[in-house]
Chains A and B, each alone.
Chain A
Amino acid sequence: MSAVLNGVRKVGAYTYFAGACMRSAFTHGVPWDRVVSESYKVGVRSFPVLFTMALFVGSNLAIQGYAAFSTLGAGSLVGMFVALAGVREVCPLLAATMVAAKAGTEMAAQLAVMRTKEQIDAIEVMAIDPRSELVVPSIIAVMITLPALTVFTIFVSLVSAMAVAVLQLGVDQGEFLSFLVGYLSAYDLFAATLKSVVFGAIIATVSGYFGFYSERGARGVGEATNRAVVTMCIVIITLNFALTSLLYG
């Protein structure tokens, strides 16, 4: 019972924190110079790892799709499989979990260290809202860059899937593209982008919450980072089900 109450209390505290961040963006303004630097950090630095992941996720989707459909004598349907599984589900999740693991943990750890070293207190004493200075720019940056990274992930994985399907598995390029385009619509891209905006808000606010309210000391930093990444992954995967049900159900 106490664990349930504790969970409810934490959800309440997180909701209050997210609300306070929104309010501070309006009352204290947004330091746009920090939004730019955070966007660079989240976007550009996630590029190489996301490129590598997307490359091999696309290729494996092609191999698995081909293996499943070729037993039915319809190997060329791999284009449809990549469009449905890759664009609608795997790529938004892949981009979100990578950004959560890389940028989200970095944000949580950085804030926790700042808490430990009294740097957040220092900002408050300067009559500056630390949420508007440290968390709000990250929220905006992740909400802008994650959709872009998701589109990039989709593009790389589709190219890689096509390359493997055509060059390694012998699928006709025209058939692959025709099934891909036939089953992929603008609505799918809209849905993937919408998902990534929501995931971006979750990543930045969850990592911000755990970093901002971390215990002081090395243990506090470690716990904040660990709790942030576990919570982000669970919330993202759960929300993904809810969003898929809403958008395609």
Chain B
Amino acid sequence: MAELSTSATRPFDAIAAGEPIISFRDVHKSFGDKHILRGITLDFLRGETTVVIGPSGTGKSVCMKLIVGLLVPEKGDVWVAGTNVAEAHERDLMSVRRRIGMMFQDGALFDSMSVGDNIAFPLQRHTKLSDAEIRDQVAHALEQVGLPGIEDSAPSALSGGMRKRVSLARAVITKPEIVMFDEPNSGLDPLTSDEIDGLIGRMKEDLGITFIVISHDIVGTFAVADRIAMLYNGHLIAQGTPDAVLHSDQPTLRSFLARNMDLPPLPGDPR
């Protein structure tokens, strides 16, 4: 049994700012013979922005999918505010998901709906708000992400950066306690990338919620992070404040931050 001394075993209301709201305990996940996560133990603190970095294929997105129960670990526990999502009943899993918003890498906007309908969708399914109230909330969410008045546009007519912003508006429309971003800067030019980072920072100040960002963009990471965790070859090799990470002497982390693609192997790990 993994060590459970974490506040993430308590419900949302009983977790104070700065305490773990999500905890991974000795989490293993494989796909076929590929062992993606090899015993991850990691905490995400309430009210803080944690950025998970690492090269492609190290299991960053897998961590995110484990948090919302889209994937189930072979071993270990994933606690999200009182629920072990690895073993949760469907009803409890749904309850956890209602408190989490997620911005997908390519937006995952529904092509068959307009931008406004995309953002309104979770409100229509989960609340009894009137159409007028939903329209107001959608307009406000679009203003928050800097895209006022595009409710009637089709997702296919939007640029990559706009799609990500609309996806963010949809993720926060239900006022979740945790918002996750899967590669918010991927495929964007540097200026748009900076805009997205700025937006994440502003939303964190405005909403005061817990953000988890998956990224391999080093500049963006230091722009938004309160804490940074680095995954490599399925292991958590470093975690701490941006300052601590920046001054870490862990060789793999230093190579990654220096954009050296030839990362040194971990002791005892196959490359």
Contacts and interface: CB of A to CB of B under 8 A. Distances in A.
Our verdict on whether A and B bind, yes or no, reads: yes
A118 B105 contact: yes
Given A126-B97, A127-B94, A127-B97, A121 B108 contact: yes
Interface string B84-110: 000000000011011011101110111
A125 interface: yes
Contacts of A114: 110
B108 A118 contact: yes
Given A117-B108, A127-B126, A128-B125, A122 B94 contact: no
Contact residues of A: prevailing secondary structure? helix
B106 A125 contact: no
B70 A121 contact: yes
Given A117-B108, A118-B106, A124 B122 contact: no
A116 to B, nearest CB: 10
A126 B122 contact: yes
A126 B65 CA distance: 13
Given A117-B108, A119-B108, A125 B102 contact: yes
Contact of B68 (A113, A117, A124, A128): A124
Nearest to A124: B70
B222 interface: no
B12 interface: no
Nearest to A128: B125
A111 to B, nearest CB: 12
A127 B69 CA distance: 11
B225 to A, nearest CB: 23
B110 A119 contact: yes
Given A118-B104, A121-B70, A126 B110 contact: no
Interface in A100-127: 110, 113-114, 117-119, 121-122, 124-127
A125 B121 CA distance: 13
A124 B97 contact: yes
Contacts of A118: 104-106, 108
B106 A117 contact: yes
A127 B95 CA distance: 7
A118 B104 CA distance: 8
Most buried by B among A31, A121, A124, A126: A126
A80 B125 CA distance: 53
A114 B102 CA distance: 16
Contact of B97 (A31, A117, A119, A125): A125
Interface in A172-205: none
B153 to A, nearest CB: 17
Contact of A126 (B109, B111, B112, B125): B125
A85 B258 CA distance: 76
Nearest to A37: B112
B110 A125 contact: no
Closest 8 A-B residue pairs measured CB to CB? A127-B97, A122-B108, A118-B108, A127-B98, A127-B94, A126-B122, A125-B102, A118-B104
18 contacts: A113-B111, A119-B109, A119-B111, A121-B65, A121-B70, A124-B68, A124-B97, A125-B68, A125-B70, A126-B125, A126-B126, A126-B174, A127-B94, A127-B97, A127-B98, A128-B122, A128-B126, A133-B125
Given A117-B108, A122-B110, A127-B98, 9 more contacts: A110-B112, A117-B111, A119-B109, A122-B102, A125-B100, A125-B102, A126-B122, A127-B94, A128-B122
